[in-house]
Amino acid sequence: MLEDKLSTVAKAMKRSEIRELLKLVAKPEIISFAGGMPDPTLFPSKLIAEVTSEVMEKEGERALQYGPTEGDTELREKLAEWDKVDIDNILITTASQQGLDLVSKIFIDPGDTVIVGYPTYLGGLQAFNSYDAKFIGIPLDDEGMKVDVLEGTLQKLSRDRNLPKFIYIVPDFQNPKGVTMPTDRRKRVLELASKYDLLILSDTPYRPLRYSGEPCPNFFHLDGGMERVITLFTFSKILCPGFRLGYIVAPPDIIDKLVVAKQGTDLCTSPFNQAIVREIIKQDKLDRHIKKLVSVYKEKRDRMLSALDNYMPKMEGLSWTRPDGGLFLWLTLPEGMDANRMFERALASNVAYVVGSAFHYDGNCKNTMRLNFSYPTLEKIDEGIKRLAKVIEEEAKEVL
């Protein structure tokens, strides 16, 4: 009975496999590289309690009331300063997943094409999917989306009059691959976007978490006229996910439409949470906190890379990425192996990952997996990679 009443997109909606899977791996004996979660021992709980008391004392009446849909003015000013843009370029969002939803809402009509990484962030696929987008995936190398493949694809789509509304890119320490797009490739992508008059949706949750190498400019700073880039930021990875707080940087006419869409979606993002984060920024405590995260996560990344170097069997076709930042690296198994099939063996050995196929819109590339290094302790990284190495060795013996 319910089925008859559902909207077209709701009929096609499926529970996210990996979110269901994450429930399976919540047992304490399992070392999980599966989630995308920050290290909770680093959350600044004490600072947040202190700042909340100050906010309640100083501006409780404002912070607990409805706020403007655009977001807290002073917070937007701070962020504009930080990102060297104008306050009219900034909309506060209920974290960046809402950014994905709002951008989809104002741009995607059923059947519209969207270009995504192959693989890409699962939550992006889910948001676009809920507006009935059709996907075209562009494979990635160690420098992100392959720009020559992108060019060929756009040529073809242009001939077919099926150009996408936007290109969705996670340029820094991409989720799931961990790779970063260098400046020259960003410029090439922008040129293509300009040639075919497309928008770029740049998703940058991990950007401040760089452990090695030099930062690349944000897309919108390469886009002279600030015309065609929409950038999503979030405080989830650099402060805490529990606030559900992020923001969008975009041209003012796009911000305007996003504001109207947001009015119907949640009226405004929590002014309480916004006030707390604004005060943390004003007290110069966010930068300091990010420095601490970078030093801890760098050690974790290094530990995972050396554990992989030390424990993984020497096997043709077995490789992994070496990210300069973020939370994830990407492991590729030899052709003929299947991370989905192997998952049960991994669970039995008390280690977990996310199957790479989950990040491919068509569910392919089953010989890949994503490994998270931000959440587990150094000891667990070491032990977990040891277990995973053994699982891969045993599985390879059986299937290769």
Please state the closest distance from residue 262 (CB atom) to a second copy, in A: 10
User: What is the layout of strands, in order, in the sheet containing 229-234?
Assistant: 90-93, 246-249, 229-234, 199-203, 166-169, 113-118, 134-141, 144-145
Please state the closest distance from residue 43 (CB atom) to a second copy, in A: 4
Torsion of the alpha carbons at 306, 312, 316 and 321, rounded to the nearest 10:
-40
Outline where DSSP puts E strands in 235-343. Answer: 246-249, 319-320, 328-332
In the complex with a second copy, the residue whose CB is nearer, 52 or 350, is 52
Please state the closest distance from residue 57 (CB atom) to a second copy, in A: 7
Look up residue 327 and give its DSSP letter: S
In the complex with a second copy, the residue whose CB is nearer, 201 or 355, is 201
**Residues counted in the chain:** 400
Strand partners, 232: 203, 248
Please state the closest distance from residue 249 (CB atom) to a second copy, in A: 16
Separation CA 124–CA 137 (nearest Å): 13
Through-space distance between the first and last CA atoms of the chain, rounded to whole angstroms:
47
Please state the closest distance from residue 125 (CB atom) to a second copy, in A: 9
Separation CA 362–CA 355 (nearest Å): 13
Report yes or no: 330 and 120 within 8 Å, Cβ to Cβ. Answer: no
Burial grade of 156 (CB within 10 A; 0-12, 13-18, 19 or more): exposed
Strand partners, 135: 114
Please state the closest distance from residue 80 (CB atom) to a second copy, in A: 20
In the complex with a second copy, the residue whose CB is nearer, 276 or 385, is 276
Please state the closest distance from residue 68 (CB atom) to a second copy, in A: 9
In the complex with a second copy, the residue whose CB is nearer, 194 or 349, is 194
In the complex with a second copy, the residue whose CB is nearer, 2 or 348, is 2
In the complex with a second copy, the residue whose CB is nearer, 37 or 378, is 37
In the complex with a second copy, the residue whose CB is nearer, 242 or 334, is 242
Instruction: Tell me phi and psi for residue 375, to 5 degrees.
Output: -80, -50
In the complex with a second copy, the residue whose CB is nearer, 13 or 400, is 13
Instruction: Tell me phi and psi for residue 249, to 5 degrees.
Output: -110, 125
Instruction: Tell me phi and psi for residue 116, to 5 degrees.
Output: -130, 160
Written as six digits, the tokens of 248 are: 């969008």
Please state the closest distance from residue 321 (CB atom) to a second copy, in A: 24
